[in-house]
Chain A
């Protein structure tokens, strides 16, 4: 079945780096644009970044621009989020999500999320 599984979350000190992965299965990964969305405890979702299906274009939220890098390996059906210079306010559950083909921003398949805690 169509599935996204995130991994790589954990506890990290401020200023350090962490890389998240999202393994896709059950669909043609290389045909879909992919997003990262995060959600802090008790808050609403916050969009983080998007990468087009071929990796040619990437957009980032202002809050992470210059610190986070989204990438993908279509041969491995895997999406990544490299996070550096982490701050306490980056603490959240991070979800990868598939963008609906042809839609501006709709995301129809989500992973279960991986928690990131930035704390000393």
Chain B
């Protein structure tokens, strides 16, 4: 069972907005920045969000993130078919002195 909790699935239609949540604790999300990754089948995870909601070069502005207390969320606006993938939140845990990934959310674009 993951330290960071995500819903197993989410869905939306093209053009819609969807939000994926990630719940943690004081020692991880509550203390450190949250990262979000996108993973397509057969490929390595791709960093979408780091730092204080920053996006690496090449990541569309449709992807944004927020954090409140020990919870975080990833928002995808203007959903596109190519957004269908697994999404993982991640954060450093100060108590465990280790990195943590959420269990992942499978996003389906209907």
- Residues of A near any B CB (own CB < 8 A): 35, 37, 44-47, 50, 59-62, 95, 97, 100, 102-108, 110-113
Contacts and interface: CB of A to CB of B under 8 A. Distances in A.
B32 A45 contact: no
Label chain B's interface by main secondary structure.
strand
Nearest to B98: A61
B45 A62 contact: no
B110 interface: no
Contact of B35 (A60, A62, A106): A106
Given A100-B47, A104-B33, A108-B50, A50 B99 contact: yes
Contacts, number: 72
Nearest to A61: B98
Nearest to A95: B44
B47 A35 contact: no
A113 B32 contact: no
A62 B95 CA distance: 12
Please provide the 4 A-B residue pairs with the shortest distance between their CB atoms, ordered closest to farther: A106-B50, A47-B99, A110-B44, A105-B92
